[in-house]
Structure formats: structure tokens, C-alpha cells
A and B are shown apart, each in its own frame.
Chain A
Amino acid sequence: MSKHSSLRLAALAAAAVLALPATAADRVKVGLMSTLSGAGSGLGIDIRDGFQLAVKHAGGKLGGLPAEVIVADDQMSPDAAKQTADRLLKRDKVDFMTGIVFSNIMLAVAPPVFQSRTFYISANAGPSQLAGAQCNPYFFSASYQNDNMHEAVGKTVQARGVKKIALLAPNYPAGKDALAGFKRFYKGEIALETYTPLNQLDYGAELSQIRASGADAVYIFLPGGLGINFIKQFTSTGLNKEMKLFAPGFSADEDVIRAVGEPMLGIFNSSQWAHDMDNAANKRFVADFQKEYGRLPTLYAAQGYDAARLIDGAVKTVGGKIEDKAAVRKALEAAKFESVRGEFKFNTNHFPVQDYYLREVVKDAQGRVTNKTVGKVFDNHADAYAGDCKMPAETP
């Protein structure tokens, strides 16, 4: 074939593609951008693995349409995330986006996502800003609102009669939300409130301050590798014998337990999900996750799984017509899917109204160090910001 004829053929093919009339989508494209490198990578990997397990359970489809999941790394950096999101939105033209772990990245990426009229299904980050005044018809949280898990520990700590506590969180939006949530339900004395840079991994100085504060207990919100480092260093100072450590589910989940081991025993933590929850969807999810990846899932994995199931349910409800944004929005709001946390429903601000549980790190029957659900803290708990949200009735 000569050079010219192949050129002509290419031109013809291109013209043929362009001439095709716009039809109903033949597949669902999901941009899964998450933190897959660095100290927060364990979280993103679990979200990714949970999401992909749900797609696998649905036979490689979402809502009956073949699913194409484009996985990208945000490198835990808002700048890198903005560029990657741009690529997913403009070049790959994804129909849904999901996967972001950290709230500062979520807030950086939200404007371009909403502008492009792409639905964002959060599999973790739930910043207060997006729950209140800046709520958006294109944002749905399949996880929680940032304050919620900390509110649950705050209530637990209060109920257990802790008089004086030291608080530690990273200096970023979710860190502020965390301690605000904790303080909403804890009424005792706060001996110390410290914020550390999000990339800080050495807590020597903070541990000295915690010891000096004279607190009876310490509450940390340190996701992923941060929490792993803190708990190891906490144990190596011997402080674990002097005061009780409380944490949200983030800092005492299976990833942290795997890395730290026995020193985790006895830590109480809160979550909207646990791997021992008794419902059919969860049993299948936990068993298959272990079979597929050889480890127990974390709450991040559960949220990733639910995010995919939420999309699956919505696409099914609109019969695959994902171009009809108003219909997709209605379908997402109805949230017709079986969640691994049992019941799942959205509030008016597109954040879930759900139960929160207390878990304890114990040794189970097989001798594994793992989480066990020991009680329920909140029934049908909504976030504190929904009242400030004026969700537009029409989808722009």
C-alpha cells in the first residue's frame, strides 16, 4: 500500500467516525484518581482494590454497561492532582470521578470537576465545605462527612469519663474538621490541641508535649502511614502504659494493624463500617476481598466498593442513558444499591445519613490482631453542615 492510499484510508476512517450520530453511551468511563504513592498510598490502594472488586462482581460492568476504570495517582499533591484531573476530564472525558483520599486534594479538584458537569462520587474525602455552603449537585459522598467519625469517638470518650485529653491532627481541612467534630461531643478539658504538617512523620516533639500536658488520654487523627508512625513512636516512648489512645477508624484499621501489630490491642475506634458486620453484601465483599488480595479490607476498601455499587445502581436506574445529567442525579440521590454497611441513604446535601459503630482492636479466634465491633454510637447520624447547604433543585 502506498503512503498516499494509507493516508486516504486514515482520513476516510476518521470521517466515518466523526459522521457517526451521537448514540446512548456504549460504556461507562470512571476516572479513579487516588493516592497511590507515598505515606498515604495504603489508603488509595484499598479504595482502588475495593472499587475494582465491585466492578468484577458486576461482570466487568457498571449498571449493565461495560466499565472502563482509568486509575491515576494524585501523589498526595494538590498540584499533581489538578493536572491529572484535567487529563481525566478533558482527554479521557470520564463520566464519573472517584477515589480521592485527602480533603485538601478534593477541594483543589472540585471546581474543575463540577465545571465539567462530571459526577464526583467520593470514596473517602468528605470536607465540611462541600457538605455546607459549597454543596454541589455533582458531588456525592459514598463515605461520610469528615466530622462524623470523630464525633463518634468524642461521644465515646465523653461517656467513658475521660477528664482531660490531648488532641493531635494534621494541619489540613480534614484535620480541622476532625477535631471540630470531636469537640462537638466531648465536653471535658482539652489539655493540648496540636496540628502537624500533613507530611510530618516524626512525632518526637508532639509526644513530649503530650506527656507534659498531663492528659489521661490522647486522641489522634492521623491517616495511613502517619498513624502507623505515631503509634509505633507512642509505644517506644512508653506512653502507652500511662494513657489510653483513642482513634477514628482511619488510624486503627487493618492497614495500620498490619504494620504495627500487637501494640494496637485495646484501641477503641469508630467507623461506619466493620469487616464483621452481619449482612449478605458485606459477607460476600469481605470474603472475596480476602480471596482476591490476600488481606482484610479496610473502611477505605469498603467505601471504594460502595462507590462503585452506587454508580452501578444509578446507571442501571437510568437505563444506561448517562448523558441525561438530571436523571443520573435523581438516580444517585435515590442510592438504590445494597451497601456493605447495611442501610445507605443520602441527606439533602448528598452526604450519607448512617449509623456509626465502636470497634476495638482484639485478638480474634484465629489469633489475628483485628477489629471487632463492640457497640453502636450513633443511629441514623447526619452531619452538622446539611442546614447550610442550599442544593439547587435543577442540575445546571
Chain B
Amino acid sequence: MTGILLLEQALNGLQFGLMLFLLAAGLTLVFGIMDMINLAHGSLYMVGAYLIATIAAASGSFWIGLAGGVAATAVIGVLLELTVLRRLYERDHLSQVLGTFAILLMANEAVRMVWGSQPVPMAMPAALSGPVALLPGFSYPAYRLFIIGVGLAVALLLYLLVTHTRVGMQVRAGASNREMAQAMGTNVRLLFTSLFAVGTALCAVAGGMLGPLLAVQVGMGESILILAFVVIVIGGIGSIRGALLGALLVGLVDTAGRTLVPVLFGQLLGPAAAATAGPAVASILIYVLMAGVLFWKPRGLFPSHG
């Protein structure tokens, strides 16, 4: 029985981690290459989820919603980059934080104006709404397996893109030394606009995948953005490999913590302490993980700068 519990929790952690990776991948490239802190990254995730939910509801198909919503969000991302974000690259981090935080607030209000303050319902595709038997006596929700599949596929695609293509080479060069890459003739501006489009599309995919599982609501980007930052700090800023590893670590530690910490507290301190302190400690576990990683590896697990 415990073997199945561990397996199931590992799958849960994997699913959560891969979704974090979709968000962290775009964030880390922007941060790594342009040295730009983009707090509005979570807003694109939110806008993506809303667009996908709306198109899915209007067309009656989850898949049309996903395709349409991801494309529309990527366009919004590019427009945002061309009009506003582009002007922030040369500024210091404080201006970037203030500027993108303003965008975050405006995005929340804009979404509230268009869709209202109540969560928008989003259904998972009917074919994936049941359980799938993986082992005798162990079934797992089909939809979560689907999320894992999508996450792994995207991770593989990104890996091939970054390590086996010319664009990927430029991306890596830009991440480790922007000035040198520029001097060698890379058009960093163009590269960056396209990267931003990819990052935005990944956000939207994450929003669309998580929409039916969680709730499509105003402010949904903020809590997950913090986790995405934790992921890239753990993984090493600018590294896709680091983002993947960091995301999986955070996903697994968070899921395992929610299961194990209350049990551990229960055995050490009794049920009353487990009930009050257990959930609290479980929710700070990933920050403890981050502190630990930064203590031994101050630049993250796979730093890409110099």
C-alpha cells in the first residue's frame, strides 16, 4: 500500500513540477539573456488560462480552446514586448520590477473588467475525466497523466531546440555572455522577441492545462509566479536544464512535504501538533529547500553565466 502511495505522490509531484517548468522556462530565458526581471510573467499565464477557457466554452472543444488560446496569448506577449518591455531592458532591476509590477496590476484589473471577479469554470475534456488503471489496484487520473505527457513533450522539444539548433546556440551564447554574443553578430533583439513569444506560449499552455484542475480566476498568476522564481533560483538563472531540474525538485518536495510532514510531526509531537504545525511547515518546505541549495550552491544548481 505504501509503495502505491509513494508512486502516486511521485506522479503528483512530477505533474506539478512539469507545469512549474513551463512557467519557469520562459522566465529563466528572459532573466538569463536580457537580465530582465519580469513580474508580469504570471499575468500572461492568467490571460492564457482565461482566453483558453473562453474559446473552449465558445467552441465547445477543449482542444480548439487550447490551440486558439495559446496562439492569442503569444500574440499578446509579443505586443507587450514590442511596446513596453523592450524599453525596460536597459534600465536597472528596480525600474524593471516597478514597471512589470504595474503591468501585473493592470492585467488583473483588465481581466476583472472583461470577465468579472468570479472564477470562470473550465471543464476537462470528457475523454480524460476518468481514472486510468496503471497497475493492478492502482489507477491514476487520466487528465493528470495527460499533463505529465504534455510537460515531458515540451521539455524534450525545448531541449532539442536549445541544444541542437542554431537558434539554441545563440540563446545559450546570449545567456552566458550577452555582450560577446552581440559582438559576434547575434541579433539579440529579434532573438529575444521570438523567445518572448515562446515563453508566453508556454505560460498559456500551463494555464490551459491547470485551468480545469484549479480555478481560472483573477490573481491566479501571482502565487504560481513566486514558485516559478523559486524554481529558477534553485536551478540557476538562464539555464533550461536548471529550470527543469529545479521545477521537478520543487514539485516533488512540495508534494512529499504535504504527505510526510504531518505524519512525521504526528509521530514526534502528537496529533495536536501535527494538525496545527504540520500544514504550516509543509508549505514552507520549498523555501527551506531553496535556502539549502543557495547555501551550498549560491548560483543555483546549473548556473549559465560565465
With beta carbons under 8 angstroms apart, the residue of A38, A171, A196, A229 that contacts B218 is: A38
| Interface 9-mer from B240-248, B276-284, B289-297 | B276-284
Residues of A within 8 A of B131 (CB): 236-238
Residue B2 is within 8 A (CB to CB) of chain A in the complex: yes
> Are the C-beta atoms of B258 and A205 separated by less than 8 Å?
yes
> Are the C-beta atoms of A209 and B218 separated by less than 8 Å?
no
Residue B75 is within 8 A (CB to CB) of chain A in the complex: no
Cβ contacts B237-278/A at 8 Å (1 or 0 each) = 000000000000000000100110010000000010001001
With beta carbons under 8 angstroms apart, the residue of B1, B8, B140 that contacts A214 is: B1
Q: Could you tell me which residues of chain A, from 12 to 56, have a CB within 8 Å of some CB in chain B?
A: 36-39, 41-42, 45
Residues of A within 8 A of B218 (CB): 37-38
Residue B45 is within 8 A (CB to CB) of chain A in the complex: no
> Are the C-beta atoms of B5 and A208 separated by less than 8 Å?
yes
Residues of B within 8 A of A387 (CB): none
With beta carbons under 8 angstroms apart, the residue of A37, A201, A209, A211 that contacts B117 is: A37
| Interface 9-mer from B9-17, B20-28, B166-174 | B9-17
Interface size class of A (residues with CB under 8 A): 20 to 34
With beta carbons under 8 angstroms apart, the residue of A199, A208, A209, A225 that contacts B119 is: A225
Q: Considering the chains assembled together, what is the distance between the CA atoms of A73 and B116 in angstroms?
A: 13
> Are the C-beta atoms of B119 and A204 separated by less than 8 Å?
no
Number of residues from B at the complex interface, CB < 8 A? 41
Q: How far is the CB of A363 from chain B (nearest CB, A)?
A: 20
Q: Considering the chains assembled together, what is the distance between the CA atoms of A193 and B270 in angstroms?
A: 13
> Are the C-beta atoms of B1 and A212 separated by less than 8 Å?
yes
A208-B12 CB under 8 A given contacts A41-B117, A238-B139: yes
Residue A202 is within 8 A (CB to CB) of chain B in the complex: yes
Q: A196-B279, A204-B12 are in contact. List 20 more A-B contacts (CB 8 A).
A: A38-B217, A45-B118, A73-B117, A171-B280, A193-B271, A195-B275, A195-B278, A197-B283, A202-B16, A204-B144, A206-B258, A208-B5, A208-B12, A209-B259, A212-B5, A229-B214, A235-B130, A237-B141, A238-B130, A238-B139
CB nearest neighbor in A for B5: A212
A208-B8 CB under 8 A given contacts A229-B215, A238-B130: yes
Residue A259 is within 8 A (CB to CB) of chain B in the complex: yes
Q: How far is the CB of A67 from chain B (nearest CB, A)?
A: 24
Q: Considering the chains assembled together, what is the distance between the CA atoms of A209 and B274 in angstroms?
A: 15
> Are the C-beta atoms of B8 and A38 separated by less than 8 Å?
no
Residues of A within 8 A of B150 (CB): none
CB nearest neighbor in A for B3: A212
CB nearest neighbor in A for B278: A195
Q: Considering the chains assembled together, what is the distance between the CA atoms of A214 and B137 in angstroms?
A: 13
A229-B9 CB under 8 A given contacts A212-B2, A237-B141: no
Q: Considering the chains assembled together, what is the distance between the CA atoms of A26 and B94 in angstroms?
A: 53
Q: Considering the chains assembled together, what is the distance between the CA atoms of A213 and B129 in angstroms?
A: 24
Q: How far is the CB of A196 from chain B (nearest CB, A)?
A: 7
Q: Considering the chains assembled together, what is the distance between the CA atoms of A273 and B187 in angstroms?
A: 68
Residue A395 is within 8 A (CB to CB) of chain B in the complex: no
Residue A83 is within 8 A (CB to CB) of chain B in the complex: no
Q: Could you tell me which residues of chain B, from 157 to 182, have a CB within 8 Å of some CB in chain A?
A: none
Q: How far is the CB of B66 from chain A (nearest CB, A)?
A: 18
Q: How far is the CB of B270 from chain A (nearest CB, A)?
A: 12
Which of B223, B279, B280 gathers the greatest number of chain A CB atoms within 10 Å?
A: B279
> Are the C-beta atoms of A205 and B9 separated by less than 8 Å?
yes
Q: How far is the CB of B284 from chain A (nearest CB, A)?
A: 11
Q: Considering the chains assembled together, what is the distance between the CA atoms of A8 and B297 in angstroms?
A: 72
CB nearest neighbor in B for A201: B214
What 5 pairs between A and B have smallest CB-CB spacing?
A: A238-B131, A37-B117, A212-B5, A208-B8, A204-B12
A204-B255 CB under 8 A given contacts A41-B119, A197-B279: yes
Q: Considering the chains assembled together, what is the distance between the CA atoms of A236 and B141 in angstroms?
A: 5
Q: How far is the CB of B17 from chain A (nearest CB, A)?
A: 12
Residue A194 is within 8 A (CB to CB) of chain B in the complex: yes
